[in-house]
Structure 1
Amino acid sequence: MAEQEKNKGRITIIAKNITGNANGQILQESKRTKNVVGGQFFQNGKKGGVNYQINRERQAPLELRVLKIDGPFDENNKKVEVVEKNKWYTYKAIQFNREPKKEELQNLRWGVKYDDEAMKELAQVSCKGFKEITHKVLENNNSSKLKIYAFFKAPNENVSVGVEIEQGEVLIIVGTEQHSESYGNKLMFPAQAVREIRENYKKHKHANILIFKDKFTEMQLSIIKRDAKKLNKDIYFKPINTVSELVNYINNGDRTINRSKQKIGVIKIFSHGLPSVLDFGLDGKNEEAQRFKLSHVTQLNKESFMEHPVIYSYACRTGNSDGRVVTANPGYKYDSETIKLVKPEESLAQKLAEHIDAKVYAYLRRSNYTSTWMDGGNKEYKSKYMTIEDDEVSNPFNPKDWYRATLGDSRWDESLWNPDGAFLLPTSGKSPSGLLENGMFIFEKGKTPVKQ
């Protein structure tokens, strides 16, 4: 019985002579045919001969192509329709026009295209034999969508995976200039906001400007809004006048922004500041109502933010806790003892980082907005300068500020503007100095602040 099972599926012919005659064809089909003879082995074809395919042209192997890609899949292998920034997602080449050989997969290439830009090959995963790859969108990428391609020779739009990139709201908060209403200073904060749109958010669908409106004229607000929307038609421009309005917008949105659907991913702040205070109305009649303090931090709903939001404060001393009056002196210098009073780990910047799990960039020193109009002689930029009438503009008390603000020209009743916004970002100021370091510092939850 065991021997029968062993030979099951075999045909064994044992004969002295085997003759096969047919008027048409004798067809033998098998996975393997073996002929063993002791003497001679004859195959004769009287008319057409014996055909071993030698009369046909050799067929080239079928060119290998990718037919289908799948993804993106998150860390739980769940397929998603929207990807978040700074998170890894998996993409898979799941179908080919024939079974690929291992060595052929070494020629498999991958590419990515953001928005309507040209496709770029992903060199780190191309030609490595990978049928699956992981990919993430970096934090500073402002694209709204991407496509992933897998191919051997050239990318094909029909063999790609398109997906949306989650775009958290970019909230640009603009303070007033009531401390030094000079020709160049008056519009320096909104000029920085317009520059941000120009440099970073032209295509962002949810980049919005909140501006404290005290002492800005209706004409100024109209022109600022106009120029921001020229750069990005989707910009939402919202005048406000108190920190309470700011907190309410962050927490709840408004008729235009549905906060349950649109979380905040980035905040950029251009305003005056004091140690651990964002002073959106410094020296103005509504100054107290326009100050964001440590006590306001816990009023912010964590649910209003994306995971790990980013905050840039270009206000003075957001990362500094030393509020002594003496430090207001521009010539003040920290020594080995007084430097201990700065306590960046207790600052507004650190409190924001802890409360909403944000990465916060802020200064320990004052910030310097002199660079706003430092055009470096750029002819195209300079050709766009304009002035906006403003009866509040006057000569500031500090002659140095006056020279900086007017670029050497005495101007009254006019404010400087450029439709392209500021030319350069603010920089770290020179005061207070001594042992207090300049530059931006990074504040993160559970970490010691470090210089950028």
Structure 2
Amino acid sequence: MLDYGSTIEPCLKREYVIVVGAEDYYDRPGNKMMFMAHAVRYVRIYGSRFDITTVLYFRGGPGVHTDRQVAALTASVRKYKGTARSVRSWRDVASHINTRTVNGCQKRVQVLIFFAHGQPGRIWLSADEGIFLTAGDLGRVDAGSFTPKRDRNSRYTFRHVTSWACQTGNAGQRGSAEQNLKNSLAQKMADFWDIQARASITRTTYAGTWAGWRPWDRNTDRRNIDNAVWEDDGADGSVESGSGSDQGNMPTGMYLLNPGQRSGYRTEDLD
């Protein structure tokens, strides 16, 4: 029997979700597993700050990612106490995010990350299969599936969605950077999900994946998996906001887009 005046605090599990798009655009050794490598790097660096860490990866169509490549990703994520799961559609991703109980506790997503190709208005989840994330898909995720704004996790206090896909902060329109930001997929994410989104107007660069090493260089920490460079500890360096956009002249930087924001956007150094 409980002592008089005692209370039972409901348990809340905070989840870190990383969505990995299939690499079906570049077939070069250094590119083939780069999205997977950055997912592992983020699990290694940040995963311990959350109660649950999940990597949801798109394998792509036949021959895009081999069994050995997927096994390497899964083993590395598991090494750093995360779980890697294959998904085939945005509906699968949304279903995972919207699942609000686990092992008898409430579960909410605190941080959502995307590593994938992109262009104004869509993130490429599995382009060869015609699977993209667009504004019309955002409603599948319930805003209530993210941690409440008042929630403060002592290990990781800020809730957000970050897309490292190219031009997620770009609407692809003529006009100013501000106009493109306010009409972008990233701003729609912020509005639909009531959470800060972080994205680039310009193309992002994954040049730091292997810290400048060419695929043919020798490195004791690296190996070749079915003609793809891999390292069990993941990527060496961060993705960055680079140069170039559909308009050709948009400013670089990772922008912070808040729910309902339409002006006054600012950038922040992110990793």
Shorter-chain TM-score bucket reads 0.7 to 0.9
Please tell me whether the aligned partners of residues 13 and 106 of structure 2 are also in contact (alpha carbons under 8 angstroms): no
Report the AA paired with residue 415 of structure 1: A
Q: Per-residue CA shift, 1:275-296, capped at 9, x if unaligned?
A: 02111123x1x12xx2010011
Aligned-partner Cα distance in 2 for 1:423–1:248: 32
Alignment-derived partner of residue 167 in structure 2: 317
Could you tell me which runs of 5 or more consecutive residues in structure 2 were left unpaired when the two chains were aligned: 1-5, 150-158
Which residue of 196, 215, 218 maps to 1:359?
A: 196
Alignment-derived partner of residue 96 in structure 2: 249
Aligned-partner Cα distance in 2 for 1:179–1:170: 27
Alignment-derived partner of residue 228 in structure 2: 415
Report the AA paired with residue 293 of structure 1: T
Aligned-partner Cα distance in 2 for 1:262–1:374: 36
Between the two structures, name the one with larger relative contact order (CA 8 Å, sep ≥ 6).
Answer: 2
Which residue of 117, 120, 124 maps to 1:275?
A: 120
What SS does the corresponding residue of 2:171 show, helix, strand or coil? coil
Alignment-derived partner of residue 22 in structure 1: none
Shift of 1:435: 4.2
Give the TM-score taking structure 2 as reference length. 0.82
Whether 1:217 aligns to 2:66 is yes
Please tell me whether the aligned partners of residues 375 and 382 of structure 1 are also in contact (alpha carbons under 8 angstroms): no
Which residue of 425, 436, 440 maps to 2:254?
A: 440
Whether 1:345 aligns to 2:194 is no
Alignment-derived partner of residue 83 in structure 2: 236
Change (3 A) 1:80 1:346: farther
Alignment-derived partner of residue 137 in structure 1: none
What SS does the corresponding residue of 1:354 show, helix, strand or coil? helix
Shift of 1:252: 3.1
Task: Name whichever structure is richer in helix by fraction.
Answer: 2
Alignment-derived partner of residue 140 in structure 2: 299
Q: Per-residue CA shift, 1:66-121, capped at 9, x if unaligned?
A: xxxxxxxxxxxx98857xxxxxxxxxxxxxxxxxxxxxxxxxxxxxxxxxxxxxxx
Which residue of 385, 388, 392 maps to 2:225?
A: 388
Aligned-partner Cα distance in 1 for 2:213–2:224: 19
Please tell me whether the aligned partners of residues 177 and 251 of structure 2 are also in contact (alpha carbons under 8 angstroms): no
Q: Cα RMSD (Å) of the superposition?
A: 2.7
Report the AA paired with residue 451 of structure 1: T
Q: Who wins on radius of gyration, i.e. which is larger?
A: 1
Report the AA paired with residue 41 of structure 2: R
Which residue of 256, 266, 269 maps to 2:111?
A: 266
Please tell me whether the aligned partners of residues 260 and 304 of structure 1 are also in contact (alpha carbons under 8 angstroms): no
Report the AA paired with residue 115 of structure 2: F
Aligned-partner Cα distance in 2 for 1:421–1:300: 29
Alignment-derived partner of residue 450 in structure 1: 266
Aligned-partner Cα distance in 2 for 1:424–1:173: 18
Whether 1:197 aligns to 2:197 is no
Please tell me whether the aligned partners of residues 321 and 341 of structure 1 are also in contact (alpha carbons under 8 angstroms): no
Shift of 1:376: 7.7
Q: Give runs of aligned pairs for residues 35-54 of structure 1, distance below 5 A.
A: none
Alignment-derived partner of residue 370 in structure 1: 207
Change (3 A) 1:426 1:347: same
Report the AA paired with residue 169 of structure 1: E
Give the TM-score taking structure 1 as reference length. 0.50
Please tell me whether the aligned partners of residues 209 and 237 of structure 1 are also in contact (alpha carbons under 8 angstroms): yes
Aligned-partner Cα distance in 1 for 2:54–2:140: 21
Aligned-pair identity (%): 25
Aligned-partner Cα distance in 1 for 2:108–2:184: 25
